[in-house]
């Protein structure tokens, strides 16, 4: 029952996370596109930086952007912040119920580093916080020098990826790269963008001239968030694709995903501005090249295929040792009341039925047994692979 309630909790939190996440990314895409489409030629009211005409849902909209701020504070001001805060809160909740409560299944791989659950959780929390402070420090240090700032944030994320792949399981490390970037993005809104806007509103209310620097910093951080959205989305679904984190230097895959996602976002933003293709077209072959490199890096390596094929009873003994506490009609593992993904591995017929998937998950990507709590060796994986190929 408790496992069942836990599953529902997990599902509802995940649903909420997707809903608010879509809301947040939607506003990020919309406002950056709006910003870029602002027309500065049109006759404008005083203080207006640019205007835009848009048509949607059966009506026409005329939007004006004031920089630094309108002369008087309007009575109803809509703040865009809750979608960002709630995305982080629901995401951290998911991290807790999936990766902290079941740390030894999802977060830890004893073959990578034999951590106790509390140690893994401490590394997780500390790294997310430290990551934000370093990122914030880099932004303050470089100010509006975009190129060195972008390069150093890229390196910071790579450093985090190297650290995570050295301490966590494959899926644990990739989800943490996503959480690391997501934390930076949400804290950008919570610590920098919204407080800056509040100061400007306060200055307006006191009849003072609002300071432009707060608006500029907010713009810079929200542009960072915009460029990070696409890589972070891929990181969040990466646990479903264990081949991404199977390479011994999987941080290279993270680097390539950052490049592909960032460049693709750049192309979309330039299209929104209406720039000619010649100006940003260079980004397309670069993104394609990075994607091909990612496919190449993650391609399965040829395994040593020599040696005797083990007997049927040996292979059943192997799955009894490493798999059936979870993949049985009645699992005995404390975290599962039903076989995960309905995959049962109790009979030879089961093994033949799922042979393709077992090959991918256990022999190639080493994603199974989950968390490798039973210390399955590479030799056992090769033996299993040879048996599967022979049948
Ligand atoms: C601690 C529990 C646990 C153990 C032990 C375990 N698995 Fe799994 N297995 C899971 C979970 C959870 C999933 C679902 C993963 C997901 O949702 O991404 C899964 C999924 C799978 C899948 C389906 C993947 C898909 O894409 O549909 C296969 C195949 C599989 N495991 C094979 C194995 C084999 C072979 C072993 C033993 C060598 C094993 N597992 C040991 C928990 C376990």
Tens digits of residue pLDDT in 67-79:
778 888 888 888 8
pLDDT at position 40: 75
Q: Report the distance separating Cα 298 and Cα 247, nearest Å.
A: 6
- Cβ-based neighbours of 217, under 8 Å, separated by 6 or more: 192, 196
Residue written as token pair 């402070």? 133
Count of residues making up the chain: 391
- Any atom of ligand 1 within 6 Å of the Cβ of 333: yes
On whether the CB atoms of residues 369 and 322 are closer than 8 A, the answer is yes
pLDDT in tens, 4-26: 888 899 999 999 999 999 999 99
pLDDT at position 334: 84
CB atoms within 10 A of CB 172: 26
Of 10, 108, 369, best ligand 1 pocket probe by most atoms within 8 Å of the beta carbon = 369
Mean pLDDT of the chain: 92
How many angstroms separate the first and last alpha carbons of the chain? 39
pLDDT at position 311: 92
Report CA-CA distances (Å) from 304 to 76, 112, 297, 366, 376: 68, 22, 19, 15, 17
pLDDT at position 207: 85
Residue written as token pair 């009211």? 45
pLDDT in tens, 285-322: 999 999 999 999 998 876 666 788 899 999 999 999 99
Residue 212 pLDDT grade (very low, low, confident, very high; cuts 50, 70, 90): confident
User: Could you identify the atom of ligand 1 that is nearest to the CA of residue 325?
Assistant: 5
pLDDT at position 304: 65
On whether the CB atoms of residues 92 and 85 are closer than 8 A, the answer is no
- Alpha carbon of 216 to ligand 1 centroid (Å): 48
Retrieve residue 5's tokens: 């309630």
pLDDT at 42 over 80: no
Interval 36-65 mean pLDDT: 86
> For 190, how many CA atoms within 13 A lie in the half-sphere containing its CB?
15
- Alpha carbon of 329 to ligand 1 centroid (Å): 13
pLDDT in tens, 93-107: 999 999 999 998 899
**Share above pLDDT 90 across residues of the chain, in percent, rounded to a whole number:** 70
């Amino acid at each position: 029952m408790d496992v069942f309630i836990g599953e529902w909790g997990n599902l509802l939190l995940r649903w909420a996370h997707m809903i608010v996440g879509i809301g947040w990314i939607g506003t990020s895409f919309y406002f950056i596109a709006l910003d870029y489409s602002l027309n500065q030629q049109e006759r404008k009211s005083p203080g207006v930086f640019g205007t835009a005409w848009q048509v949607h849902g059966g009506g026409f909209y005329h939007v004006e952007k004031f920089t630094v701020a309108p002369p008087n504070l309007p009575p109803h001001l809509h703040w865009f912040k809750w979608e960002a805060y709630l995305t982080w809160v629901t995401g951290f909740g998911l991290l807790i119920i999936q990766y902290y409560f079941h740390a030894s299944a999802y977060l830890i791989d004893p073959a990578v580093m034999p951590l106790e659950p509390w140690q893994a959780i401490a590394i997780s929390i500390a790294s997310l916080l430290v990551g934000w402070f370093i990122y914030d420090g880099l932004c303050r240090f470089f100010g509006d020098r975009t190129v060195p700032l972008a390069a150093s944030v890229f390196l910071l994320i790579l450093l985090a990826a190297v650290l995570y792949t050295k301490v966590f399981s494959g899926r644990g490390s990739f989800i943490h790269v996503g959480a690391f970037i997501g934390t930076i993005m949400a804290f950008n809104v919570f610590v920098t963008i919204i407080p800056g806007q509040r100061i400007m509103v306060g200055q307006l209310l006191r009849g003072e001239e609002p300071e432009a620097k707060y608006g500029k910093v907010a713009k810079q951080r929200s542009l960072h968030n915009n460029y990070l959205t696409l890589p972070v989305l891929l990181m969040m679904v990466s646990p479903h694709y264990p081949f991404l984190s199977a390479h011994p230097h999987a941080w290279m895959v993270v680097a390539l995903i950052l490049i592909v996602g960032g460049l693709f976002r750049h192309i979309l933003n330039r299209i929104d501005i209406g720039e000619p293709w010649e100006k940003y077209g260079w980004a397309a072959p670069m993104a394609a090249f990075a994607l091909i490199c990612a496919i190449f890096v993650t391609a399965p390596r040829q395994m040593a295929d020599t040696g005797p094929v083990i007997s049927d009873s040996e292979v059943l003994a192997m799955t009894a040792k490493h798999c059936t506490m979870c993949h049985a009609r009645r699992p005995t593992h404390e975290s599962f009341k039903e076989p995960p993904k309905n995959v049962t591995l109790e009979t030879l017929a089961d093994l033949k039925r799922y042979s393709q998937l077992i090959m991918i998950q256990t022999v190639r990507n080493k994603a199974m047994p989950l968390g490798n709590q039973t210390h399955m060796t590479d030799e056992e994986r090769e033996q299993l692979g040879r048996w599967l190929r022979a049948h």
